[in-house]
A and B are shown apart, each in its own frame.
Chain A
Amino acid sequence: MEPLTRIQRDARPESMLLNMGPSHPAMHGTLRIMLELDGEKILNAEAEIGYLHRGFEKTCENKTYFNLLIYTDRLNYVSPLINNLGYVMTMEKMLGVTVPERAQLIRVLMSELSRVSDHLTCLAAMAMENGAFTVFLYMMKAREFLWDVIEFTTGARMTTSYIRIGGVRADLHPDWRGSLTTAIRETRQVLKDVSGLLDKNSIFLGRTRGVGAISREDALSYGWTGPCLRSTGIPYDVRKASPYLIYDRLSFEVPVGEFGDNYDRYSVRMREMEQSLRLLEQVAGLIPDAAPLSAGPTIEPSEAIARSRRQRTGERIRLSPNLEGYEKERLPGLVATDKPIAVPPKEDTYTTMEGLISHFLFFMSGKGIRPPKGDVYFSVEGGNGEVGFYIVSDGTDRPYRLHLRAPCFHLVAALEQLIKGRLIADVVPTFGSMNMIGGELDR
């Protein structure tokens, strides 16, 4: 049979070809690395991706701008809120929407929580594959505390779809401050413990120091962004380079490494988490407590519907707990109300004719959110680099083309070069420190 891949074609007859993956404990998600070996030494490598390809971009072309938000959750499934944010802010750039201050603060809060959990997951997996199982358990524990904060407010741990075009879906959970304080305290403690376990651990250092090193020139040439680029000493961070939301008003540092090796990628992520915790504390101080909902009796939706048949109802409606924080009174602080880009308040939909009409106009095919013609690119700083969306609009309610600039696509493209000439054992920490996320890589 004709050899299909470059590595098979170019392999020397005396060397051994070995598949690592697609089903391999160290290939989180699925990725196949083909290795040409001389003993344990890697002479040549080829990475094959696409095992998690599910046609994200094609699907988006067939969904309305509102409906495709849920697919963005499933890109980088460790930090879905940042993907939501990237998509939503691209749309807002096109629509020319100003988001209320409170919603912006909540977005920063959610982004930073996601960033910490993203880094925790990456380092936990990387440490576990190097034998440090304790670190894995510690970091997963911290991540659960962070996800508690997210879950209280959004109702989901991962597939949140919380950040919506124009603002956020609902207000923060009434007890968010308590859970956030716990999460920050626990995460700080875990970071301290992990530092103690790994920073000067000779086994860990042996497998990371000087392994998988990349030069600044190569990192740029490969289009690296995020912590991996910063590990080479280039302080490029979208939050600093082109600040979005309110990042220009917050104080944080951009940690950088020196050698661009696995250890630097570990250490940059560790220090970035500390900065993110700082940001969380600042933002928590800036978010005012929600105004209490006006007192007075509330009535069931069914009762309100029955009454609205005879007259316009003025009473407050008891919304389902799934809509907690989405009361009409709170909406002006949470979503932009100057344009019909957010789901109309449920109270109106239930009880008034105009409300019902605007509800249908929002969800009907061909209506809803229709940005002007043109194309737009916008990016935010994701867990592992610049998450960019490129959207082409033809003026209808569905994108003509939607493209995701996935940061780890560029990272994994460099994998072959990083492991060439090294030992098989070096593949695992090098790959682990890149934070490859299948959902985002293969789209």
Chain B
Amino acid sequence: MGQENLIEAIRAKLGDAVEGVSDSFGDAVLTLRSAAVRAVMAALREAPFEYAVLLDLTCVDFAAAEGRFELVYHLYSLTRNVRLRLKASLPAADPSVETLVGLWKNAEWLEREVFDMFGVRFEGHPYLKRILTYEGFEGHALRKSYPWRLEQPRIPLKGDV
């Protein structure tokens, strides 16, 4: 199945969840409604699409420019050797989306990283906790509103008075 046929097949099956199809420097990109992310991913994981690997999950902060966050998922299909990029926009105020934990095992850590860096909440995540920074870190470092080289307050050692 070629990439074009594949996109057509996805649209046919999940028509109302797909908001747009585009091509960016030769990469196929699907834009999803954020409410449908988990349902779409669950469908894409199974035959006939067989995107067995969640390669990557990240987020882009367009909050200053356009007032939104954009989640970027990369899937990979071993059987057909194609990658697919999926995007979902979230509102800048209180961004949240359904978790992918349960579909892919690495989703737990990937979503913790996006939560840590952008403050996006993943509904249904069993352990949404900061992963790269520490408990008590103020703000979300990869948001555009977070200044580069901002110093964090010192954390008192245990037992310090």
Pick from B26, B85, B131, B142: contact of A50, CB below 8 A. B131
- State A242–B130 Cα separation when bound (angstroms): 34
On whether the beta carbons of B132 and A49 are closer than 8 Å, the reply is: yes
- State A312–B70 Cα separation when bound (angstroms): 54
On whether the beta carbons of A374 and B132 are closer than 8 Å, the reply is: no
Q: How far is the CB of B127 from chain A (nearest CB, A)?
A: 5
Please give me the residue from chain B that is nearest to A441 by CB atom: B132
Q: A6-B127, A222-B106 are in contact. Are A57 and B56 (CB under 8 A)?
A: no
The answer to whether the Cβ of A207 comes within 8 Å of any Cβ in the partner chain is no
Q: A53-B133, A374-B25 are in contact. Are A401 and B106 (CB under 8 A)?
A: no
On whether the beta carbons of A413 and B105 are closer than 8 Å, the reply is: yes
Contact with A along B42-61 (1 / 0, CB 8 A): 00000000001111101011
- State A89–B24 Cα separation when bound (angstroms): 15
Which of B29, B56, B129, B142 has the largest count of A CB atoms less than 10 A from its CB? B56
* Those of A222-253 within 8 Å (CB) of chain B: 222-223, 234, 236, 241-242
Pick from A57, A390, A442: contact of B74, CB below 8 A. A390
Q: A93-B26, A222-B105 are in contact. Are A377 and B74 (CB under 8 A)?
A: yes
State the majority secondary structure of interface residues on A: mixed
The answer to whether the Cβ of A281 comes within 8 Å of any Cβ in the partner chain is no
- State A223–B75 Cα separation when bound (angstroms): 10
List chain B residues, Cβ under 8 A from A357: none
On whether the beta carbons of A236 and B78 are closer than 8 Å, the reply is: yes
- State A223–B78 Cα separation when bound (angstroms): 11
- State A50–B117 Cα separation when bound (angstroms): 12
- State A59–B150 Cα separation when bound (angstroms): 12
- State A374–B132 Cα separation when bound (angstroms): 28
Q: A50-B133, A375-B24 are in contact. Are A220 and B83 (CB under 8 A)?
A: no
- State A223–B45 Cα separation when bound (angstroms): 13
Q: How far is the CB of B135 from chain A (nearest CB, A)?
A: 6
- State A386–B78 Cα separation when bound (angstroms): 14
Which of B25, B52, B81, B106 has the largest count of A CB atoms less than 10 A from its CB? B25
Pick from A94, A218, A442: contact of B105, CB below 8 A. A218
The answer to whether the Cβ of A364 comes within 8 Å of any Cβ in the partner chain is no
Q: How far is the CB of B11 from chain A (nearest CB, A)?
A: 21
Task: Known pairs A61-B148, A413-B108; list 19 more (Cβ under 8 Å).
Answer: A5-B129, A49-B131, A50-B130, A55-B141, A62-B148, A93-B26, A218-B105, A221-B106, A222-B105, A223-B53, A234-B78, A236-B78, A374-B24, A375-B29, A376-B24, A388-B74, A400-B60, A409-B110, A417-B105
The 9 closest A-B pairs by CB, nearest first: A50-B132, A223-B106, A413-B109, A403-B58, A221-B105, A405-B56, A53-B132, A376-B25, A401-B60
